[in-house]
């Protein structure tokens, strides 16, 4: 089974605010033993929002980033969850000129989670931070550059609108089990977001999936010869028969069968898939993923924002709606 890289795991954890770099800064009070003479134990007090320590002005020794920029960055990442609260607690100079350490305290309004602490280093370019061992886009609009890049270069088959105001780009590998699992959510998104442009970009991870590249080439040829409808029929069939991709012979049978289901000639698609132009098209899709700093599949890029398509569907939908609101575009 393919597992997302550490970078993607950390990034997506940031999106759903369960970063492994959170550290406990407070413990829930342990209730005293009940009074043995009492007729019955009293009901536990309901949880309430934690009171985060007030920041000390002495902890703001770095000029950049500003507290406002940090708050805007956290709002962009965490704002879709109304239960999340946070406090920018410190922005500190470090021994390296231009690099600042930022400390954020975080909790939830219901008090169901222990308060935590997020530490990261803001880099001199103002556009990136280091959280743990990962480099993550930063700033008031942390997803803006990736959004522009995806709009310019994500030209794979798509469902939905030709308009790119809300663009959801799926990077997937035909041999990836998690990509197969994500298709149920992708089909739901296509129904719930008819005004979105939902693009499929092929990202074969050849080092672990030897048949992924030829499957990708077939997919591009199917799209070129049959259009997007044929491509998505082909894609569904390939994922359905994914176990057949484990060997070269099995891949040939699986891909040819999927091509027939898409209404196309397997011999023509096979010939197309071997051409330099198609192999270059596969490489272009791979390069786009790399330029977006995507290293694992499946990954969605929602107007530049990376998110896992295998999140619980309600959470995934909430993130997309929130991102659309931030960008001022119509989502549904």
Superfamily assignment of 145-327 in CATH? Glutaredoxin (3.40.30.10)
Give pLDDT, residue 198.
Answer: 98
User: How high is the pLDDT of residue 8?
Assistant: 37
- Contact, 296 vs 290, CB < 8 A? no
| 3-class state of residue 130 by DSSP | strand
Per the listing, tokens 């995806």 go with 150
What value does the mean pLDDT take over residues 104-113? 88
Pairing label, strands 158-160, 134-137: unpaired
Q: Per-residue pLDDT tens for 55-81?
A: 999 999 999 999 999 999 999 999 999
User: How much is the mean pLDDT over the chain?
Assistant: 87
Q: Is the Cα dihedral 259, 263, 265, 271 positive or negative?
A: negative
Report pLDDT for 47: 58
Structure tokens at 176: 């990836």
User: Taking residues 13-17, what's their average pLDDT?
Assistant: 42
Higher pLDDT: 45 or 270? It is: 270
Given a cut of 50, whether residue 46 has pLDDT beyond it is no
φ/ψ of 274, rounded to 5, equals: -90, 0
Strand partners, 305: 302
Question: Which of the two residues, 122 and 19, has the higher pLDDT score?
Answer: 122
Tokens of 293: 């700093």
pLDDT digits (tens, 9 = 90+) for 142-191: 999 999 999 999 999 999 999 999 999 999 999 999 999 999 999 999 99
Query: pLDDT band for position 52 (50/70/90)?
Result: confident
For residue 197, pLDDT beyond 60: yes
Global confidence as pTM: 0.83
Residue extents of the structural domains in the chain: 6-24+49-140, 145-327
The answer to whether 25 and 312 have CB atoms below 8 angstroms apart is no
By the 8 A CB rule, do 130 and 14 touch?
no
């Amino acid at each position: 089974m393919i597992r997302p890289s550490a970078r993607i795991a950390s990034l997506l954890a940031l999106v759903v605010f369960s970063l492994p770099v959170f550290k406990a800064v407070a413990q829930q009070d342990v209730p005293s033993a009940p009074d043995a003479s009492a007729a019955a134990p009293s009901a536990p007090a309901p949880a309430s929002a934690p009171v985060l320590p007030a920041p000390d002005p002495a902890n703001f020794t770095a000029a950049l980033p500003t507290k406002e920029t940090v708050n805007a960055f956290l709002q962009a990442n965490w704002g879709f969850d109304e239960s999340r609260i946070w406090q920018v607690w410190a922005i500190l100079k470090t021994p390296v000129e231009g690099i600042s350490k930022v400390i954020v305290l975080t909790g939830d309004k219901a008090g169901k989670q222990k308060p935590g602490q997020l530490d990261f280093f803001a880099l001199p370019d103002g556009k990136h931070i280091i959280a743990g061992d990962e480099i993550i886009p930063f700033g008031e609009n942390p997803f803006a550059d990736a959004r522009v890049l995806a709009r310019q270069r994500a030209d794979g088959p798509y469902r939905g609108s030709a308009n790119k105001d809300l663009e959801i780009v799926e990077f997937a590998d035909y041999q990836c089990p998690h990509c197969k699992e994500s298709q149920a959510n992708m089909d739901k998104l296509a129904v719930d977001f008819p005004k979105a442009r939902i693009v499929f970009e092929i990202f074969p991870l050849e080092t672990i999936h030897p048949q992924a590249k030829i499957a990708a080439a077939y997919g591009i040829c199917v799209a070129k010869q049959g259009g997007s409808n044929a491509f998505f029929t082909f894609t569904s069939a390939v994922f359905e028969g994914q176990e057949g991709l484990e060997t070269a012979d099995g891949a040939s049978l699986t891909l040819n069968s999927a091509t027939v289901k898409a209404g196309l000639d397997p011999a023509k698609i096979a010939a197309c898939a071997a051409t330099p132009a198609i192999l270059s098209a596969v490489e272009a899709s791979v390069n786009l993923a790399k330029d977006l700093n995507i290293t694992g599949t499946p990954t969605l890029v929602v107007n530049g924002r990376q998110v896992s398509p295998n999140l619980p569907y309600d959470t995934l939908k909430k993130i997309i709606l929130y991102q659309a609101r931030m960008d001022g575009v119509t989502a549904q």
